[in-house]
Structure 1
Amino acid sequence: MSKLMFVFGTRPEFIKLYPVIMEARRRSHDVVVVNTGQHREMLDQLLDEMGMAADFNLKIMTQQQTLADILARTLSPLDQVVAQVKPDHLFVHGDTSTTLAGSLIALYRQVPLSHVEAGLRTFNKYSPYPEEMNRQLTGVLTDYHFTPTEVTRGNLEREGKDPSRIFVVGNSAIDMLRYTVRDDYTHPVLDEVGDRKLVLITVHRRENISELGQMFSAINDVAERYAETHRLVYPIHMNPVVRRAADEYLTSSNIRVIEPLGTTDFHNILSRSHLVMTDSGGIQEEAPSLGKPVLVLRDTTERPEGVAAGTLRLVGTGREDIVREAARLLDDPEEYQRMATIANPYGDGTTSQQIMDVMDKVIADAG
């Protein structure tokens, strides 16, 4: 069997590569796992949670590192690992600085590159930033594009990518839910919510930092307006700027701000939520598969399929807009039910098997 290297450095990357890694191992491939350490505490916690140890941990993270720091501190150590291991194939995911670094090293070492979750685009250089250009640049270097939907396939084809190297496989985030969501799950936060309905909040994106006052004020308004029937829960991001803004604007006693959750905890609380308000990317894919409407607190999204299907509603970052759209769902059961029952456009939970079916054929054809 071939030697397959998987490179990641953040929690979202690992969440979506984990099912692919497990499927590769199930098929007896020689799997090498590389963690750049772009994120530290949350990613290490997740690796422990899933019982997986990286074969190499580059531990690049430093305090207040810049985007240039991340890329510079990743390239040389990763190059040394790839030179030592000599993988037959290298996998990256998504759109992080680790993704771009892994793609460059695959080029430099002439290792075939697979990009999982390829083809997402806003075509706005600075939104999301720097992710949009990370994934566009990675796309130029990729040999095999594993893309979630026909829309993302179209993006790649319009950019001139070889159609025979593009594979629509859905999103592996849906696969991950099979490993995490449990019927018998309990948590003190759920006990605290009690009979009220849970509104789950996540806010952290870099391009939204200047809008945090508006966004948190809107969330505070929603918390006050629905205090008798709903309870808002916000697993707060580690970013100190986000935390300071939350302290200033989230004044309602109906908002429960908690420390970041592990993936199993988050997925299970997500599965028991009523509504999700988020600027995250991955949650836009996960929540609809659990029947949860999503208000996307961003001006653009690289997941237009969800907006077109109706599982996502792009509401921006303005205070009045956020409150209005939340009220629209919380006040109208028919509108809520319509959105909650739309089929998820991001796949059926078989993405990792489809990826490895392609890889097995590629390997067999290579002889």
Structure 2
Amino acid sequence: MTAFPSLPRFRRRAPAIARALLATATLLAAAPAALHAQTPAPAPAAVSAAAKTGYAEVDGARIYYQIHGDLASDRTPLLVLHGAFMSGDAMAPLIAPLAATRPVIAIDARGHGRTGDAPGGLSYDQMAHDAAGVLAALKVEKADVLGYSMGAATALRVAMLHPERTGKQVIISGAYRLDGMPPELIKSIASLTPEIFAGSPMESGYKALSPTPDAFPTLVNEIKALDATDFTWSEDGIRAIEGKTMVIAGDNDGTTLEHTIALFKLRGGYDLPTILQGFMTEAPKARLAILPATSHIGIMAEAPAIAAMVTAFLDDKAPPPPAF
């Protein structure tokens, strides 16, 4: 296991959310290489040698992207959006299996990873415009979108603001309202400070990748501001999203179960005719997966199971009929 010299000091002074982030990084340091990619990458070499990388100029920022597979293929590309304090590299456990069947584009959100600090701060609308801007720069007319946590909320916003570029959506541990998170979690995030992360894997990973390595305190404060800004996207707006939706969460996630189920229903899930019929004859408009014994950060350890479910969803596979 990798040793972190400041670990005891960090644990004493960090709020719950920061301790959880560090615990994840510590666990992944001892995990197999396939899972180790979930922690912030120690060096640019962490990107697969098979990936094509570059930058797209969007609204005053150079948004970093990596492409896995051939965008010229006849398969709809999948755009992958990471969570807070992460980068595209951290989504590797999902990217690898999903890229086996379709081209995958992963981006580093503004403020994060190889994109680094950018003017304007963080907002879901801006990150949605950034994602659409990358697709435009790559001449991708339409892509399916998968997002985790911060990236999940961004994926919903991409579908709402840029429907012409959005196909199916996979929403992992994401909310469409700030109060979709427990108030205690919102309060915990508000207590974060840049000093709490001193010497942590999140800080060192940021500095290893970022073109603005001294801007980590800015990122911490921008994420705090993002999660302190009330947002509520209208239910009519959620219903109007084009394309099918898969909602995935842990049974002990950072979004409440009530909120997760509400999102599933708004997207056309829990279809009464199907319920009355007792079986499905075609792929549904919305799918829901609640993973057992799974937390907000722990859900990334379920990448193999999630990738299998997501592949079936993106391929629009109808559920198998019963054997009897």
TM-score range, shorter chain: 0.3 to 0.5
Higher helix share: 1
TM-score, normalised to structure 1, is 0.36
Which fold has the larger relative contact order, with Cα–Cα distance below 8 Å and residues 6 or more apart in sequence? 2
* Higher Rg: 1
